[in-house]
């Protein structure tokens, strides 16, 4: 490290102490990537704050030395969002993991960003509440990371993604100023700065406190597994359910490759000879749930559903959800590596999108496992590959690019819950004009004029994040 780097370590060490300041190459290897893994870059320093004041003081050092920084939660992100693209400082938020307040009367909680998502629901379940956004990694991912990426999950079909459940934030700006947005009661006059920050992927500063809505547990829940011998029929069932005006709490699709991985690893009872299964959950008043369950079963059988297993007790329900929640990890048992994509298509286009994913993967000679939040059109094709085979890596990337392009062409989006991060920022001109990207960058510059907070994320490279040369290259088929 040079003189500036040495000064950085010394000054941060004075704030956090040697036990909470990490700077040796061996220690920093842990922080060179997140769950995306293909984007790797170690930071210069990692610090472990325990308070907003420590974050503020640490950011002030970064500002004075013009050093980039970013916050990191559990590192479960899948778009390279927690990678230190320009080195600098990582604020590891794991020690800021407390529930500061639970207000049942007003159905809210105030938490620190390092709190694990699932821990909030566990803390409130005895009083009949939970926190609705439930990413598959909810047993590990943190609420600060969920805020940065606007995370979703299976049950956001009915309840909405993270932004729908965040009432207010405390944010340390890149100049060290501490600001608060929103309110405990939700809507306030003026601009919705809370909503802007939630989807900013850490490019506006570091969130140090989050006020969230709590959701009351439903009176009745019905969960069932619909089994199909044809992937098209399964995806058409999803469109049929939504077209009938039914909004389940969750409507998930798992294809044959993923089913076989789940059963090989977890043995939850998914039929290994099926082409696909739908995991469907409905919630509400008991009479309403009973009527809706009958309607969904009718629709499923009209689309040639082979069988339907109804979870008769909580143990069975947990077994079925274990298969879905741990499906991504199970795929790791049947492939040396896989690349998880996160495109979105209109729900009416789901059958076409699933067919085209299969065709694209076959054309590029890549195996694919589909695990989808099918009810809201959020696709998670997992492209399986051998990381030691350069040709296969190239084919995997080409297939992934084509899948994302297909999502956009069908009227969808590049991401539903994993964020843009480093992974998809070069694709942003597929959706937005140069003027759009320029306006986005202007908003960011209000919060972070020197682009120190999580740089090289979300926006394409360029002084205004809408570089003309790159935009043209992407639109003509370039892949950066």
Kindly report the three-state secondary structure assignment for every residue of the chain: CCHHHHHHHHHHHHHHCHHHEECCHHHHHHHCCCCCCCCCCCCCEEECCCCHHHHHHHHHHHHHHCCCEEEECCCCCCCCCCCCCCCCEEEEHHHCCCEEEEECCCCEEEECCCCEHHHHHHHHHHHCEECCCCCCCCCCCEHHHHHHHCCCCCCHHHHCCHHHHEEEEEEECCCCCEEEEECCCCCCCCCCHHHHHHCCCCCCCEEEEEEEECEECCCEEEEEEEEECCHHHHHHHHHHHHHCCCCCCEEEEEEHHHHHHHHHHCCCCCCCCCCEEEEEEEEECHHHHHHHHHHHHHHHHHCCCCEEEECCCHHHHHHHHHHHHCHHHHHCCCCCEEEECCEECCHHHHHHHHHHHHHHHHHCCCEEEEEEEHHHCEECEEEEECCCCHHHHHHHHHHHHHHHHHHHHCCCECCCCCCCCCCCHHHHHHCCCHHHHHHHHHHHHHHCCCCCECCCCCCCCCCCCCCHHHHHHHHCCCCC
Q: What is the CATH number of domain 335-423?
A: 3.30.70.2740
- Residue 355, token pair as written in the block: 């067919």
Strand 45-47 relative to strand 89-92: parallel, antiparallel, unpaired?
Answer: parallel
pLDDT number for residue 114:
98
Best CATH choice for the domain 98-216 from the list 1.10.3720.10, 3.40.50.2000, 3.30.465.10, 3.50.50.60 = 3.30.465.10
Give the pLDDT of the chain (480 residues) as one tens digit per residue: 445 789 999 999 999 999 999 999 999 999 999 988 788 999 999 999 999 999 999 999 999 999 999 999 999 999 999 999 999 999 999 999 999 999 999 999 999 999 999 999 999 999 999 999 999 999 999 999 999 999 999 999 999 999 999 999 999 999 999 999 999 987 778 899 999 999 999 999 999 999 999 999 999 999 999 999 999 999 999 999 999 999 999 999 999 999 999 999 999 999 999 999 999 999 999 999 999 999 999 999 999 999 999 999 999 999 999 999 999 999 988 999 999 999 999 999 999 999 999 999 999 999 999 999 999 999 999 999 999 999 999 999 999 999 999 999 999 999 999 999 999 999 999 999 999 999 999 999 999 999 999 999 999 975 343 333 333 333 333 322
- At residue 117, φ and ψ (nearest 5 deg) are -50, -55
Distance between first and last Cα of the chain: 30
As annotated, the residues of the chain forming the CATH 3.30.465.10 domain(s) are 98-216
Q: Report d(CA 288, CA 402) in Å as an integer.
A: 42
Query: What Rg, from alpha-carbon coordinates, does the chain have?
Result: 22
As annotated, the residues of the chain forming the CATH 3.30.43.10 domain(s) are 3-94
pLDDT number for residue 439:
95
pLDDT number for residue 480:
27
Beta carbons within 8 Å of 398's beta carbon, 6+ residues apart:
364, 479
As annotated, the residues of the chain forming the CATH 3.30.70.3450 domain(s) are 219-329
Strand 99-103 relative to strand 129-130: parallel, antiparallel, unpaired?
Answer: unpaired
Q: Report d(CA 78, CA 420) in Å as an integer.
A: 9
- Residue 244, token pair as written in the block: 């009938």
pLDDT number for residue 36:
84
Residue appearing with tokens 């992927």: 201
What is the total residue count of the chain?
480
pLDDT number for residue 190:
86
Instruction: Mention the CATH class of domain 3-94.
Output: alpha beta
- Residue 83, token pair as written in the block: 């990678």
Task: Please list the residues that pair with 380 across neighbouring strands.
Answer: none
pTM value is 0.92
As annotated, the residues of the chain forming the CATH 3.30.70.2740 domain(s) are 335-423
pLDDT number for residue 98:
98
- At residue 23, φ and ψ (nearest 5 deg) are -145, 0
Q: What is the CATH number of domain 219-329?
A: 3.30.70.3450
Q: Is 308 exposed, middle or buried (0-12, 13-18, 19+ CB in 10 A)?
A: middle
| 446 alpha carbon, distance to own chain's centre | 25
Backbone CA torsion sign across 254, 256, 257, 262:
positive
Instruction: Decide: 384 and 371 in contact? Cβ < 8 Å.
Output: no
């Amino acid at each position: 490290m040079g003189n500036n780097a040495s000064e950085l370590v010394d000054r941060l060490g004075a704030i956090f102490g040697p036990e909470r300041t990490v700077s040796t190459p061996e220690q920093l290897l842990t922080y060179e990537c997140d769950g995306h893994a293909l984007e790797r870059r170690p930071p210069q320093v990692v610090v472990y704050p325990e308070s907003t004041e420590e974050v503020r003081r640490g950011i002030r050092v970064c500002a004075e030395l013009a050093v980039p920084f970013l916050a990191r939660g559990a590192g479960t992100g899948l778009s390279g969002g927690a990678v230190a693209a320009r080195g600098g400082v990582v604020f590891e938020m794991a020690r800021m993991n407390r529930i500061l307040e639970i207000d049942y009367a007003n159905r809210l909680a105030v938490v620190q960003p390092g709190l694990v998502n699932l821990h909030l629901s566990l803390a409130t379940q005895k009083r009949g509440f939970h926190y609705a956004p439930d990413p598959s990694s909810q047993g590990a991912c943190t609420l600060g990371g969920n805020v940065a990426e606007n995370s979703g999950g299976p049950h956001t079909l009915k309840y909405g993604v993270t932004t729908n459940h965040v009432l207010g934030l405390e944010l340390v700006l890149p100049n060290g100023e501490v600001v608060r947005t929103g309110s405990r009661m939700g809507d306030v006059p003026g601009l919705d700065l809370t909503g802007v920050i939630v989807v900013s992927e850490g490019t506006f500063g570091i969130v140090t406190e989050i006020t969230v809505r709590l959701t009351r547990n439903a009176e009745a829940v019905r969960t069932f597994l619909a089994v199909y011998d044809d992937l098209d029929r399964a995806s058409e069932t999803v469109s049929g359910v939504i077209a009938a005006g039914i909004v389940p709490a969750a409507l998930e699709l798992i294809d044959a490759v993923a089913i076989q991985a789940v059963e090989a690893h977890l043995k939850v009872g998914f039929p290994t000879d099926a082409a696909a299964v739908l995991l469907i959950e409905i919630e509400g008043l008991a009479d309403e749930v009973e009527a809706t369950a009958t309607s969904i079963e009718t629709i499923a059988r009209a689309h040639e559903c082979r069988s339907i297993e109804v979870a008769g007790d909580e143990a069975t329900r947990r077994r079925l959800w274990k298969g879905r929640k741990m499906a991504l990890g199970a795929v790791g048992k049947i492939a040396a590596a896989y690349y998880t994509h996160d495109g979105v298509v209109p729900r009416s286009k789901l059958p076409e999108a699933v067919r085209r994913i299969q065709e694209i993967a076959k054309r590029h000679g890549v195996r694919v496992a589909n695990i989808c939040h099918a009810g809201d059109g959020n696709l998670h094709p997992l492209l399986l590959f051998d990381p030691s085979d350069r040709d296969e890596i190239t084919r995997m990337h080409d297939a992934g690019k084509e899948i994302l392009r297909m999502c956009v062409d069908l009227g969808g989006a590049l991401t539903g819950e994993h964020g843009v991060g480093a992974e998809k920022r070069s694709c942003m001109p597929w959706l937005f004009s140069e003027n759009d990207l320029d306006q986005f960058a202007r908003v960011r510059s209000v919060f972070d004029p020197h682009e120190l907070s999580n740089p090289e994320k979300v926006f394409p490279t360029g002084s205004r994040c809408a570089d003309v040369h790159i935009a043209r290259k992407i639109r003509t088929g370039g892949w950066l």
